[in-house]
Structure formats: C-alpha cells, structure tokens
C-alpha cells in the first residue's frame, strides 16, 4: 500500500507573533517552525497502516526552503521518502490553490491512500484535504478515527457530534482527513534521525507544475486584536437592570 501524507510546516505555538510591516503575514524574524500537529496524527496513522499492511509512506509539503527540516522530521519518524513543492510564499495560497499544487505533484505517485490532518494550526481552514479529493476525483471522508483495509476496500470510523460515530466502507484510492488525538504520536529515534539523512527528498518547483494557483481568497490585513475596556451602568429597578443585563448578554456579548 502506497500512502501519501500531506504535511504543512507552521509557526511554533510558543513563537512571538508579530505582523510583518506589509501587514499581509507574520514577521518571520523571530518565528520558530514545526510540523503542523494535526498532520502529525495523519503521519502516525499512515505509519501504523504501513506496519499492518506493508508498502511505503510518502510525505509531501508545499513551502519554502525552511520546510525541509519538517520533512526530515517526518522521515526520521519513519516515512520512506518526501516530496517538497518549493514555493517562496506559501501563505499567499488559499486552500484551493494549495490543493491544486498538491494534486499536480502527487497524482503521478498514484497512491492507494492520501491522508491529511483535519486542519492547520495557523489558518485552520480545514478544506485542503476535501478539495484535494475533489480535484483528484477520489472519494473522501473527514474526522477519521480508525482505518482498516481489505481487498481494495477501506473501512473507516468517523467522529460525529454528540458522541456519535459513523462506520462506512469506501473504495480505494481515497483521501481521508484524520482526527487529532486518536493515537499517541511517536518520537524520532536516534537511528531514525541518522537514516533520515540519506532518504530521498524530491524537490519540485511550484512554477514547473503548470498550475496557476490564483488565490480565490485575498488577505487584506493581519493585525493583533485591539484590547479595550468599556463600562456601562444600568439604570432602573433591580428587575429592569436584570432584564437589561440578560438582553446585553444575549445580543451583544452573545454568551447566552
């Protein structure tokens, strides 16, 4: 079974976040970067499937040169090889543009299964995996918590709302977005880190894919939330004040 895992490198959670002077993205001068945590669960699911059914795990990412350490980390955890779609400003691509580039780069691999994380920690759109499936003409399922494969058929367990689950069968190849927290993430071993140095990272220039990823969404401005304090005095009888307070909590604060 050939399993392809789409991975994204995102700003580390403990980084100091400042808007760049352009106002269009973060100032990367003080940023650290790491593997997107939801994608780490997709990688773990792919590695467990390979251990059960054999085959190989291929990791693919879209990003600049700084994304290579994230790919090396995935290789150190056990992925067999990687694909780096090189783009200088990946944050300028919306989910559809990203999915188009991933589809163009990954279609020649003809994977039996494509796994993605539920969403990215930086933008959180949660759309790339579903769009990738549509572009490749493959069936898909989201919020997947368990996967079994037999005779070209996938049996998956999906998490629904209110503690409910859905079990369904679907043909392979398919695209699945993996729910975070479904298993314990493995660490890269010293031997894995040494082996990762010799594993293949195939670099593809995004411009060479023949895809024009014109963004359908355009970021106009990025800025930190403004902090402000405001005090309101409610007049009237205690009953009138209580009614006015409830009204404000419902329709202004929207917490009731």
**DSSP state string for 183-198:** SPPPPPPHHHHHHHTT
Residue 247 is assigned to a structural domain of this protein: no
Q: How does pLDDT run across 206-215, given as a tens digit for each residue?
A: 888 887 766 6
**Is residue 236 domain-resident?**
no
DSSP state of 183: S
pLDDT, average across residues 2-24: 89
Q: Quick check: helix, strand or coil at residue 231? A: coil
Task: Confirm whether 192 is domain-assigned.
Answer: yes
d(CA 66, CA 75): 16
Domain count, the chain: 1
Query: How far apart are alpha carbons 102 and 82 in whole angstroms?
Result: 13
Closest to 15 (Cα-Cα) out of 29, 36, 1: 29
The answer on pLDDT for 42 being more than 90 is yes
| Domain presence at residue 248 | no
> Residue 184: which residues within 8 A CB-CB, separation 6 or more?
44
What CATH code is carried by the domain that includes residue 6? 3.40.50.620
Give the per-residue pLDDT at 38.
95
Q: Answer yes or no: is 69 within a domain.
A: yes
| Structural domain boundaries, residue 88 | 2-209
pTM: 0.83
Q: Flag whether 245 is in a domain.
A: no
Give residue 64's pLDDT band: very low, low, confident or very high (50, 70, 90): very high
DSSP secondary structure letters along 50-94 = HHHH--EEEEEEEE-GGGHHHHHHHHHHT--EEEEEE-S-GGGS-
Q: What is the mean pLDDT of residues 96-120?
A: 93
pLDDT of 74 = 97
Asked whether 104 and 210 are in contact (CB, 8 A), the reply is yes
Helix H or strand E segment including 95: helix 95-106
| Nearest-angstrom CA–CA distance, 212 and 21 | 27
In a domain, 249, yes or no: no
- Is 246 inside a domain boundary? no
Across 213-238, average pLDDT: 80
């Amino acid at each position: 079974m050939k399993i392809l895992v789409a991975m994204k490198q995102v700003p580390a959670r403990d980084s100091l976040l400042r808007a760049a002077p352009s106002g269009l993205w973060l100032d990367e001068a003080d940023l650290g970067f790491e593997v997107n945590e939801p994608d780490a669960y997709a990688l773990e699911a792919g590695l467990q499937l390979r251990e059960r059914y054999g085959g190989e795990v291929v990791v693919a990412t879209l990003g600049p040169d700084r994304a290579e350490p994230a790919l090396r980390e995935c290789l150190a955890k056990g992925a067999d090889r990687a694909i780096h779609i090189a783009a200088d400003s990946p944050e300028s691509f919306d989910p559809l543009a990203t999915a188009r580039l991933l589809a163009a780069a990954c279609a020649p691999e003809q994977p039996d299964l494509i796994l993605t994380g539920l969403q990215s920690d930086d933008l959180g759109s949660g759309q790339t995996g579903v769009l990738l499936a549509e572009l490749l003409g493959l069936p898909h399922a989201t919020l997947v918590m368990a996967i079994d494969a037999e005779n070209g058929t996938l049996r998956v367990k999906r998490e629904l709302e209110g503690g409910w689950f859905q079990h369904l069968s679907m043909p392979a190849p398919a695209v699945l977005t993996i729910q975070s927290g479904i298993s314990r993430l493995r660490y890269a071993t010293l031997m894995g880190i040494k082996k990762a140095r010799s594993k293949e990272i195939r670099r593809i220039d995004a411009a060479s894919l023949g895809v024009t990823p014109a963004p359908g969404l355009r970021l106009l401005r990025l800025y930190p939330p403004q902090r402000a304090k405001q005090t309101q005095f409610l007049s009237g009888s205690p009953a009138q004040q209580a009614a006015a307070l409830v009204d404000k909590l419902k329709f202004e604060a929207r917490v009731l």
